[in-house]
Structure 1
Amino acid sequence: MTTSQESDDQQSTQSEEALQPEAVQPVEVAQAEIPAAAAETEDVLASVGSVESADTPISEPSPNAAPAESASTAPAAEAAPAATPAPGPVPVAPKPGKAPKPSNLPRPAGAPGQASPAAAPAAPMPAPSYTTPPEEAATFARISDDGHVVLLDGGEEHPVGQFPDGTPEEALAYFSRKYDEVVSQVMLLEQRVATGAPAGEIQKTLGHLRQTIGQRGMVGDMPALRARVEALQTRLDDLKLAERLALEKAQAAQLATREAIVAEAEEMAARDPQQVQWKNASARMAELFENWKAAQKAGPRLGKSVEDGLWKRFRTARTTHDKHRRAFFSQLDATNATAKAAKEKLIARAEALSTSTDWGPTAGAYRDLMDEWKAAPRASRKEDDALWARFRAAQDVFFNARKSQNDEIDREYGENLKVKEAILAEGQKLLPVTDVKAARKALNDLRGRWEDAGRVPRKDVSRMESAFRKLEDGLKSAEDDHWRKTNPETKARTNSALSQLEDKVAELEDDLTKAQAKGDARSIAKAQEALDARKLWLETLQKSAQGLR
């Protein structure tokens, strides 16, 4: 075997190994070299679920062996559609010296970047395979007797390589198999596009295939292959556009979510610290931070400048919020300390007064202390409640002692209350007053007995004093009425007014008579109206005069 044939054999072996998951670096060969694009092809096979198996290896092609035709030979390259998923994976031989890797399930078919429902299990997708029939491959090549193979590419001829130690059929099969490998890779990329695989990975592999096709180191229908690659590129462009639109939509939603988090955090940071419920606000700020981390982890990445700007705003809002919280509670601690000190002093004064028996002045002092307590600042709720309990306890000592003293006094004054109630009952018999002089004498006697009866219980003082005052008011009203009726000056003024009204009534009667004689209706009405008014006054004054004595 010549050096050229050994190089071609090595190239063929590397092309088949490129379909396996292990990455293989392309080896420089003769004119018919085909770059393997091993790393990209490994990603391709991993995404469609190829399974490596050492039990069913794929033999390396031999330049001296005739190409084996597959039982399921695919149609011509120009008419070959994208392979559809089959029920099981196609076994691929592992590379010698490499442990087989577990297969990955293929991405379910659907819209680009859209995951299928979890309830719909995805069937394993086999690696596609294509074989050109020998009679069809012969139409695209011319082979010389010394083994030189020339590709017929439309109207052009392009030297492919030399296969000197084999028959023309073997040379044709060898270079046709290189064409089939490229078609199989194109079919594989078509499958990946149909299943919505990432467009960037597919584009990279397609670029290597374009480079391989451009070298024309194979035999087959090159115009159809190039057309198929262009069609694949069009579909790939559509996939990239859909991915870009989906990414922009997801980024817009992500931006809106982040903006909402930042806006709420800034609004919280701008609140008046004195009006904030800090327990709820701190819990909400922590929740916003967790929401930020969840959105950052689950959503698409934003631009660095946008991401950094939002994070800077959010961090500033959280820092400001925390500063306000610390300052608020620091000031609150200082206020609580001041309030506690002030109320401790009030408690000391209250406790000093608690044993006093000077009931009146001490009660007034406690009222002043209560006013000072209300004006003092509040401490924390727990401390303020404890201080208030001590203050009330000091007051209770004093007021309980005073109440005990008053209760003792009230028991002593109970008999006095009975006497005064009997006096009130006698006084009620004087009302209404008919004889002013007799009522005055009786009331003076009752007042003397009232004073002699002594003090009554405190709870009855107001009631008893009010009842006796009503007796005095009734007598005074009767005396005023008697004086009004017997006053000589009042009687003289009344008689004078009666005389004047009687003269005026007589005068108006004369005017009315004259008006009637003339038949002047207007004068008659006027005189009658004036006469009626004066008669009404006269009647009222006469009734008043009758009450005078």
Structure 2
Amino acid sequence: METAQAETPAAEVETKDVLSSVESVEAAQSSESEASEPASEPAEAETTAAASAPAPVPAAPKPGRKPTPGTAPKPSNLPRPAGAPAGRTGQGSPAAQAAAPMPAPSYTTSPEEAAKFAKISDDGHVVLLDGAEEHPVGQFPEGTPQEALAYFSRKYDELVSQVMLLEQRVATGAPAGEIQKTLGHVRQTIGERGMVGDMPALRARVEALQTRLDDLKLAEKLALEKAQAAQLATREAIVAEAEEMAAKDPQQVQWKHASARMAELFENWKAAQKAGPRLAKSVEDGLWKRFRTARTTHDKHRRAFFSQLDATNATAKQAKEKLIARAEALSTSTDWGPTAGAYRDLMNEWKAAPRASRKEDDALWARFRAAQDVFFKARKSQNEEIDREYGENLKVKEEILAEGQKLLPVQDVKAARKVLNDLRGRWEDAGRVPRKDVSRMESAFRTLEDGLKSAEDEHWRKTNPETKARTNSALSQLEDKVAELEDDLAKAKAKGDAKSVAKAQEALDARKLWLETLQKSAQGLR
């Protein structure tokens, strides 16, 4: 049973009770916030917002009630006690305001209504009428019965206001765990029955709130399971992709893209861990272990690949440095033909050599190419000088070709052969022509020689004695055969045998055609 001491003003007693209730609520909310921090590696620690449930708001003074002289102001109008931290009531901190934007509800019981649930003795003892039970609440010895009733009924009003606030939070879907803890404190306060009011109605209201809260817990559980399933799928997809990347042949990996993608997967892992719901510790640890192993394997392959690449680049660079030295040694040679061949061999060796890194290989190639350019530019300059000297020779040979063109087509083989022999001598005496004209001029003179050779072949065919003898022999045989076939045809006609006539006529016509062709050929041989 509570007794209000004379030396302690009623308002101060009420203020202490209010602050005690606020501290208990904030302590419970603080423990929940600490439990909600992510514990699994490697997410950074998060600062959890303060609990969203504000502390009960003391009831405002009842309208029309005049304070008793000498009585301290009501708790709702008291200044904050010295040393109390800002935002202690849950209304001043930004986190609490963000978590509970709705205004705190206020409930006030009229003196007449409160009197139905209490008995007050002359010495200030207050007894709660809880249904059929009577329960001593406390003593208010220095005040009037009305003040004692108001004091203990305000405690009831504050608790009802807190229940109303919890009902609002359930309706807006606030976290059920936070509400359940606060509701537990409310149940404990109701069980102590240190107030005056309609306790059965308050208990019924709390039970109804508990039923609604159980429904909210179930909905939250289902939503959490769904979110955890999505979180698990996201984490497993990240791990699977990382393991697939780690299993690839290092020689087939595009390392710039792969390294960027692995870093992106790590950021995705941290973002999912930070934003998503927690998984079971065994599941979380197992997935992280697989992901960490995949990242380690991937990094090990990358280091081994680039280490081998560095060794290959060093070998390639050394081989190409030797080729460059040989190329630079040949760059001042004036032995044009053999040196050009040597450069062709060097080029083949360069192509067969392994490649260094792109930057180094480009620099090595530039040096190798520069050495060749020195030689080929010198050879080109020399050839241009020679071509200028051979320009007059070209004019002479152009004139010789023009004279030779007049022989075609060859009519008189002997005369043409004599002229061409003279032209060939003059051609040799004219000397060399510029390199770019050599092929053209040689081809043109070869055409003259081919024309003369064709004419000589035709002349020989016509004048060859052996050919004439064979042709005359064939003519004689054909003429005899034609005469024989004419006799056969005459006999067949005399007999009147149409079939024999047709056969003899066909054979005769064929032999006559051969004879005519051979006779024309023989005329050309004469």
Indicate the TM-score class for this superposition, using the shorter chain for normalisation. Answer: 0.7 to 0.9
Question: Could you say which residue in structure 2 is the equivalent of 1:352?
Answer: 329
Taking structure 1 as the reference length, what is the TM-score of the superposition? 0.73
Question: Could you say which residue in structure 1 is the equivalent of 2:281?
Answer: 304
Question: Could you say which residue in structure 1 is the equivalent of 2:180?
Answer: 203
Give the letter aligned to residue 485 of structure 1: K
Residue 413 of structure 2 corresponds to residue 436 of structure 1: yes
Deviation at 1:499, TM superposition (A): 4.9
State the distance in 2 between where 1:299 and 1:473 align: 93
Residue 387 of structure 2 corresponds to residue 410 of structure 1: yes
Question: Could you say which residue in structure 1 is the equivalent of 2:489?
Answer: 510
Question: Could you say which residue in structure 2 is the equivalent of 1:97?
Answer: 82
- Which structure: greater helix fraction? 2
Give the letter aligned to residue 489 of structure 2: D
Deviation at 1:202, TM superposition (A): 0.8
Residue 324 of structure 2 corresponds to residue 324 of structure 1: no
Q: What do the CA deviations read for 1:406-433 (whole angstroms, capped 9, x no partner)?
A: 3343333333323222222222111111
- Quick one: structure 1 residues 38 and 463, their matched pair in 2 at CA, closer, same or farther if it must change by over 3 Å? closer
Residue 133 of structure 2 corresponds to residue 157 of structure 1: yes
Q: Any conservation in 2 of the 1:335–1:379 contact (CA below 8 Å)?
A: yes
Q: What pairs with 1:104-253 in structure 2 (closer than 5 Å)?
A: 104=93, 125-133=102-110, 135-137=112-114, 149=127, 151-153=129-131, 156-157=132-133, 159-160=135-136, 177-214=154-191, 220-253=197-230
State the distance in 2 between where 1:440 and 1:458 align: 29
Q: Any conservation in 1 of the 2:489–2:504 contact (CA below 8 Å)?
A: no
Q: Any conservation in 1 of the 2:29–2:178 contact (CA below 8 Å)?
A: no
Residue 39 of structure 2 corresponds to residue 47 of structure 1: no
Question: Could you say which residue in structure 2 is the equivalent of 1:385?
Answer: 362
- Quick one: structure 1 residues 450 and 142, their matched pair in 2 at CA, closer, same or farther if it must change by over 3 Å? same
State the distance in 1 between where 2:235 and 2:129 align: 59
Question: Could you say which residue in structure 2 is the equivalent of 1:84?
Answer: none
State the distance in 2 between where 1:433 and 1:141 align: 151
Q: What do the CA deviations read for 1:254-275 (whole angstroms, capped 9, x no partner)?
A: 4444344434433443444334
Q: Any conservation in 2 of the 1:494–1:541 contact (CA below 8 Å)?
A: yes
State the distance in 2 between where 1:178 and 1:344 align: 95
Give the letter aligned to residue 507 of structure 1: L
Q: What do the CA deviations read for 1:347-401 (whole angstroms, capped 9, x no partner)?
A: 2222322333333222222221222122122223333333333323333333333
| Local SS of the residue matching 2:84 | coil
| Local SS of the residue matching 2:133 | strand
Q: What do the CA deviations read for 1:432-482 (whole angstroms, capped 9, x no partner)?
A: 111122222222222222223332233222222211111111111111112
Q: What do the CA deviations read for 1:102-138 (whole angstroms, capped 9, x no partner)?
A: 42479899xxxxx9xxxxxx9x644333344455556
Give the letter aligned to residue 510 of structure 1: L
- Quick one: structure 1 residues 416 and 163, their matched pair in 2 at CA, closer, same or farther if it must change by over 3 Å? closer
Question: Could you say which residue in structure 2 is the equivalent of 1:398?
Answer: 375
State the distance in 2 between where 1:232 and 1:412 align: 116
| Local SS of the residue matching 2:525 | coil
- Quick one: structure 1 residues 531 and 245, their matched pair in 2 at CA, closer, same or farther if it must change by over 3 Å? farther
Q: What pairs with 1:470-509 in structure 2 (closer than 5 Å)?
A: 470-501=447-478, 503=481, 507=485
CA RMSD of aligned residues (A): 4.4
| Local SS of the residue matching 2:81 | coil
- Quick one: structure 1 residues 4 and 299, their matched pair in 2 at CA, closer, same or farther if it must change by over 3 Å? closer
| Local SS of the residue matching 1:47 | coil
State the distance in 2 between where 1:310 and 1:138 align: 64
Q: Which ranges in structure 1 are unaligned for 5 or more consecutive residues? A: 26-36, 60-67, 73-89, 110-114, 116-121
Q: What pairs with 1:329-340 in structure 2 (closer than 5 Å)?
A: 329-340=306-317
State the distance in 1 between where 2:95 and 2:399 align: 112
Q: Any conservation in 1 of the 2:86–2:93 contact (CA below 8 Å)?
A: no
Deviation at 1:203, TM superposition (A): 0.5
Give the letter aligned to residue 443 of structure 1: L
